[in-house]
Amino acid sequence: MYKFDRHTHPRQHQRGLTIIELLVAMTISLVIVIAAAYMYLASRESQRAIDRNSSSRETSAYVMQMIGREIMNAGFYPAIALPVAPDATQQGMYDTYPPLPADPRAITDWQNPLTGWPPTAFQTGIYGCDGGKFDVQTSTCPAVTATSADTIVINYFTSDTKAMGAYTGRRMDCTGADVAPSGSGGDPSNAERKKNAGGAPPATPHTTGVDNLPPQLPVFVSNRFTLSAVKISVDQQDVNTQSLVCSGNGKSPHGKADTTAYQPIISGLDDLQFSYGVYSTDSTLMPSRYYTATEVNALPSVTVNGLSLGAWQRVTAVRVCVLSRTAGGNTRISDKTGSPRTYLDCSDTAKNQPAGDTITRSVEVFGMRNNLKQYY
């Protein structure tokens, strides 16, 4: 029979951790926690930097889409517009910009040589100012400031009703104001053209306006785009940046002093520059080169198919350069050599990325299709 001997298995004594072992374990755990926290914070900041860069690129894309769509409308005049009896001499001329006046002049004519209307900026479908903001009251360009954004002026006509303009058409200017309201307001140059009682061109000019009917003759729309300095809040911090702004002739027509003419659209921009492709002979409508607005103004007129055309009438393409800029965080990344990354500005000059931000350049060329159709 087996007999248990208590002395066969010596007693196992339990030992606790010494203070040194405990401190070592705590130190190792603390290092692991700190490393994990650092990796988390770095990953989060990296993701935020990616988000900011993506948002900056989306801003550029939005600006290009908006301005590009407007450029393709520049110089448009509805070809389906019927002649009003006093303007019968304009028969067959209803797809030209600007609409030609009758002889003798009729009350519905848009052009008025006796009053000097329209100003130079509205005589063609497109116009521009270098390094400055277009003055909506005088319809002129300021002195050029090399560090300022350009302004582009885009003009066209529309036969939209008010309802169409508010939803799918182009009767509202870029600020959302009607250029030809049935009552007062809007652009004074549309005062007679917007009247539409009866719904169809009558033997005599209309005397009233009805919102759900088209105007008796197409009405004038002018939108101007540039940049303005703004202050925005990012992560509870104030950040100085620039915003795409616009003014329109519905809210701010020629001759009206309006300190709030330019309304902000989207912020996060650093520069906006335009250059204009101008053709020089009647053998091709391809631009011979791209010019600044100042250079376009200095170009001579050219005779094409028997017509003397000014430089702005010969613009068939617009090159748009947008610089967007991140805001609110460190997105600047060095290259493989450790040197700061660079970017090209709108004059193709290489510059270092600014501390803490990333500037992205976007360039697109838009055709002036309404200048392509008139003279060939």
Helices and strands in the chain, H and E counts: 4, 12
Pairing verdict, β 315-325 and 342-344: unpaired
Q: What are phi and psi of 21, to 5 degrees?
A: -65, -40
CA angle 5, 8, 11 (to 5 degrees): 110
- Specify the long-range contacts of residues 30-34, CB closer than 8 Å, at least 24 apart: none
d(CA 186, CA 172): 10
Whether residue 374 is predicted with pLDDT greater than 60 in this model: the reply is no
Q: Using the Cα atoms of residue 110, residue 113, residue 119 and residue 121 in order, give the sign of their dihedral.
A: positive
User: What local confidence, expressed as pLDDT, does residue 24 receive?
Assistant: 82
**Residue with the two structure tokens 């003419």:** 261
User: Binning pLDDT at 50, 70 and 90, where does residue 372 land?
Assistant: confident
Whether residue 126 is predicted with pLDDT greater than 70 in this model: the reply is yes
d(CA 293, CA 312): 9
Q: E strands within the chain? A: 126-129, 151-158, 219-234, 237-248, 263-278, 289-291, 302-304, 307-309, 315-325, 342-344, 350-352, 359-367
pLDDT tens digits for range 65-94: 999 999 999 999 886 545 444 444 444 445
Q: Note the pTM of the prediction, 2 decimals.
A: 0.82
The token pair that represents 183 in the structure block: 């009552």
DSSP H or E stretch at residue 287: none
Does 22 or 72 have the greater pLDDT score? 72
pLDDT tens digits for range 232-265: 877 777 888 999 999 999 999 999 999 999 999 9
User: What local confidence, expressed as pLDDT, does residue 292 receive?
Assistant: 97
Q: Where are the domains of the chain?
A: 50-372
